[in-house]
Amino acid sequence: NAGVTQTPKFQVLKTGQSMTLQCAQDMNHNSMYWYRQDPGMGLRLIYYSASEGTTDKGEVPNGYNVSRLNKREFSLRLESAAPSQTSVYFCASSVDGASDTQYFGPGTRLTVL
C-alpha cells in the first residue's frame, strides 16, 4: 500500500514549456486534490475532483488544467509554464464525505526559469 504517489519529484522548466504532474492513489479514495505550497503562503488549492469524472476549480486555478483519468489517477498540467508557477506541488486524496482526512503525496518541486 503506497498511499499517494507523485512523479516527478523534481523538475526544472523554461518559461513557456509545458508539463504534466502525475498523481496516483491506491486507497480507493473518491476525492483527489492538487495544492501548491509557497513560503509564507501555506497550501493553496488549485483543483479538486470530488469523484471520478468531475473536477472543480479551487483557489488558484489559473494557468493549470487537470484530468481525473480514473478513480486512482489525477494529473495536473501546466500548458505554458511561468516563473510564478515555481512552487512545491502536492497531490492529496480523501475517502469522501463532509469531514475527510486528506492523505498527501511527497510533493513535486518545480522551478520555472
Min. distance of Cβ 90 from other proteins in angstroms?
5
Whichever of 19 and 95 has its CB closer to other proteins, that residue is 95
Residue 101 lies near other proteins (rule: CB under 8 A): yes
Residue 45 lies near other proteins (rule: CB under 8 A): yes
Residue 66 lies near other proteins (rule: CB under 8 A): no
What is the grid cell recorded at 12?
A: 526544472
Helix, strand, coil percentages (3-state) for the chain, rounded to 5, are 5, 50, 45
Burial class (CB in 10 A: 0-12, 13-18, 19+), 55: middle
What is the grid cell recorded at 24?
A: 496516483
Residues near other proteins (CB under 8 A): 4, 31, 33, 35, 40-45, 48, 50, 56, 58, 90, 92, 94, 96, 98-107
